[in-house]
Homo-oligomer: A and B are copies of this chain.
Amino acid sequence: MALDLIDTNAGLRERLSTPRRTGTTIGFVPTMGALHAGHASLIGRARRDCGCIVVSIFVNPLQFDREDDLARYPRTLDADLDLCRALGADVVFSPTVQEMYPAPPRCTVDVGPLGDHLCGRFRPGHFRGVATVVLKLLQIVQPDAAYFGEKDAQQLAIVRRLVKDFNVPVTIVGVPTAREGDGLALSSRNQRLSREERELAPTLYRALRAAESSIAAGVTDAARIRRDATARIPADPRLKLEYLEVVTADDFQPLQQVDGDVVVAGALWVGDTRLIDNIRCEGLPNPGRDA
């Protein structure tokens, strides 16, 4: 079937009325466009699970804390449509800002302490904006399942919690991070990197792997894990570490001692481009705390 490009809420509801009536499962992949192989793995997973696939492409102003980042965010609609078509998506939903926010929103989602740390600390309002637009899109699309990348781990944790706290009738599926051969997590922002910056970019992943090794070796002191990991980041004026933290895997709260599953997450500026990544680690139960 042909790919339908739809830009209004009413048009989308109309398009989805038949699959909904006939009990066809609807799979939803929300994106900000500039699609890459990471998105392709989300769409591919949705395609395997569901009968009708909706991909949204919407660069959500509410989640940008910096005007310049919003302005510079890559927009590649034609290529995005080609990729969606090739992957067998049924609908691309690409609303205007006016359609999504006809007036400045009065009601927004307060994500509470889930948004206090990591990216939330450095991007004020970011997760409020993410949670609000995800809730809106889930109401517009009303999918059976929605697919999110584990690369944005804090976002995924917040979306899972949002759906649980508000009883939104949808299954949230997390999909493993897609990586380049050298470990760099795929991101739309990678397009902005110069050749030299691209070579430096896997630094973040290497630091996270170092943290993972420390944890696997039984190190439980979060400060030491952090120190060992950040030591892998070369002193280069083009690299600026924003954060690298060890947090609880379920609600992203900072830890002093590893005890059970954790996430090690970091944000690194490479030139003018901010990259994020994370690894989930199965921490050994801390014998000192168990005693």
Contacts and interface: CB of A to CB of B under 8 A. Distances in A.
Nearest to A141: B167
Interface stretch (A46-54, A102-110, A223-231, A234-242): A102-110
Interface in A144-166: 158, 161-162, 165-166
Contacts of A79: none
- The quantity of this chain's copies bound in the complex is 2
A113 interface: yes
Nearest to A105: B165
Contacts of A165: 105-108, 132, 136
A213 interface: no
A142 interface: yes
Contacts of A287: none
A128 to B, nearest CB: 8
Contact of A113 (B13, B106, B128, B161): B106
A162 B142 CA distance: 17
A31 interface: no
A13 B158 CA distance: 24
A108 B162 CA distance: 8
A135 B9 contact: no
Interface string A248-277: 000100000000000000000000000000
A112 interface: yes
A110 B107 contact: yes
B136 A107 contact: no
Given A109-B109, A112-B108, A139 B162 contact: no
A135 to B, nearest CB: 5
A207 interface: no
A251 B103 CA distance: 13
24 contacts: A105-B112, A105-B165, A106-B114, A106-B161, A106-B251, A107-B109, A107-B111, A107-B112, A107-B114, A107-B158, A107-B162, A107-B165, A108-B109, A108-B110, A108-B112, A109-B109, A109-B110, A110-B110, A132-B165, A136-B165, A136-B166, A139-B166, A139-B167, A139-B169
